[in-house]
A and B are shown apart, each in its own frame.
Chain A
């Protein structure tokens, strides 16, 4: 079974631009979560989607947004890029998310390395 795939793997943008990152979960997985990884802040939760609905959101400004499609693929968008947005953006998928129950295993993709100049 193919793992989580993320495209593109690397991106270079300039301040003020916007960017869209894509994530394809493992086949059959319906929950997709996004995380930002930086040397200073570590791994931080951005948001989680299930059945095209955002169920949970981390403490990031509104410039960070996402969506999920009917085939469970997900995209995240960052508008008006800032230097501090340079990071590795990771997508993770889970099999059967049941609200209120302990988090099931999250499988991470290789990430998209975003550099903002």
Chain B
């Protein structure tokens, strides 16, 4: 039973475009929502994270939007670059150091 549902499975975007990845959760006890980026042969690296008391958080070209009432959150990658081509995972946890991950989205940025 997947606690965090992520879509789309993959997406292709042109260089300079915007990539949008969506996640939804059911467990209202979740209170920490990180996004990870993973390149082939590497472990996931934390990109950005948000807690439910904030509706949006921006770090550089990466923005998380959080909708607590809808139990949804999304990652926007602005001005996408070829180096952003990777797999992105959303995750959630409830203070127990147990991250529940989405299935992942493979992003391909075409030059």
Identify the A interface with B (CB < 8 A): 4, 31, 33, 35, 42-45, 48, 50, 55-56, 58, 90, 92, 94, 97, 99-111
Contacts and interface: CB of A to CB of B under 8 A. Distances in A.
B29 to A, nearest CB: 11
A105 B100 contact: no
A15 to B, nearest CB: 25
B92 to A, nearest CB: 9
A42 B20 CA distance: 20
Contact of A99 (B93, B95, B100, B102): B95
B67 to A, nearest CB: 18
B44 A43 contact: yes
B33 to A, nearest CB: 9
A102 B31 contact: yes
B45 A55 contact: no
Interface residues of B, number: 27
B77 interface: no
A44 B51 CA distance: 22
Interface string B84-111: 0000010101111111111110000000
Nearest to B42: A110
B83 interface: no
Contacts of B41: 110
Nearest to B100: A45
